[in-house]
Structure 1
Amino acid sequence: MSDDILLRLQRLEDIEAIRSLKHAYCYACDDNYNTEKLRQVFAPDAVWEAEGFGQYSGVEAICDFFDQVSKDIVAAAHLVMNDVIEIADDGLTAKGVWRNCQPVTTVEAGNYQAAWMLARYDEIYTKVEGRWLIKKLVASIQFTAPYKEGWADLWPQPC
């Protein structure tokens, strides 16, 4: 095979590996923010941030945050879609953008509340020893709306 075809094939395999990585992140979050599984998707020096939740640097700080958030968000379904993944020319770094439409259940003082959340993920990935990991994840939450009330008043933007 020509070098061009091999390079193109490697890029496609890398994109699919990053998709699988993102899916592993979502499944770990949806498994009560399973920190053992989350440790497997982040680089040791990763950064995770979201407005309203904070910024956490290093895989242990990220996992400590998720241990705490799992007490408030008792159920979640991260439904990611519309990914755009770009592999850098070095083949060792990449960027990705995702949309997340997420039903969540929170608990406060023993009262459960259902809500919808819409967010955008901007991410940077790094390839370490042949394996893709999340280097930086920035979640921009566009709205969190009570299930029964909907989001029209919170997100009235035209399509």
Structure 2
Amino acid sequence: MSDDLAARIDRLESLDAIRQLPAKYALALDMRDMDAMVGLFPADVRVGKETSGREALRRYLDETMRVQFNGTSHHIGGHIIEFDDPDHARGVVYSKNEHETGPEWVIMQMMYVDDYERIEGRWYFRRRLPLYWYATDLNKPPIGDRKMRWPGREPYEGGFHELFPSWREFWARSGAPEGPVPEPAPLDQFINRMRGTAEAPRVRVR
């Protein structure tokens, strides 16, 4: 087998393995299997500023799911994956979620901006940045600003558009851009082209 063919097969197998990570994440989270959940992250996963490791992540997730939610369902949408090298990739994946939280049924639209890493032949989430468009009671459409509307909390912005300058640029002009259309982004650079120099926003998880 040629090196080129082997590399192409490896890329296809990696794409499939990475695509399964968000689906496994959703299933493990919704079924409250915290061991399965933290196994999707490397052993040295960062948990906040001061702690790391799967045990710390398991404690954090167990407390969050136990205190805030009676039940959840996460529905995975479109998934873009791009590679930096054979063992490192990044992606954007949409997620539409439902939460039973006390007397209210909260629906949410969000995306995850992910970093992936292959360690000893297995792909993991290295980092997940959640960006939210809205969260609201099923019977209360989130019209207007500050669409993150959790029961018992002040509404806030979820950072859904902050990583991609095109959203602000679109609304800052009155019509279509001037000048020629740029060439399509190079392979594995679609996300980077859209993101430009934008830094990751700081977003409240809940």
Normalised-by-shorter TM-score class:
0.7 to 0.9
1:8-157 → structure 2 map (5 Å cutoff): 8-32=8-32, 34-47=33-46, 57-71=52-66, 72-89=68-85, 91-107=86-102, 112-153=103-144, 154=147
- 2:133 and 2:123 map into 1 onto residues whose CA distance is 27
Over 3 Å counting, the alpha-carbon distance change for 1:81 and 1:130 in structure 2 is same
After TM superposition, the structure 1 stretch with the greater mean CA deviation from structure 2, 58-67 or 20-29, is 58-67
| TM-score (norm: length of structure 1) | 0.81
| Code of the aligned partner of 1:126 | E
Structure 2: gaps spanning 5 or more residues: 149-160, 162-166, 168-206
Percent of residue pairs bearing the same amino acid type: 25
Structure index of larger Rg = 2
Structure 1: gaps spanning 5 or more residues: none
User: How many Å apart are 1:38 and its aligned residue?
Assistant: 1.1
- 1:65 and 1:39 map into 2 onto residues whose CA distance is 10
- 1:73 and 1:56 map into 2 onto residues whose CA distance is 24
1:6-51 Cα shifts (integer Å, max 9, x gaps): 212211110100111221111011113x2111121111222467xx
Over 3 Å counting, the alpha-carbon distance change for 1:106 and 1:99 in structure 2 is same
Helix, strand or coil for the counterpart of 1:45?
Answer: coil
Contact map agreement 2:39 2:54 (CA 8 A) in 1: no
Which structure shows the higher strand fraction? 1
- 2:52 and 2:129 map into 1 onto residues whose CA distance is 12
Contact map agreement 1:123 1:134 (CA 8 A) in 2: yes
- 1:79 and 1:127 map into 2 onto residues whose CA distance is 25
- 2:133 and 2:39 map into 1 onto residues whose CA distance is 28
Helix, strand or coil for the counterpart of 1:41?
Answer: coil
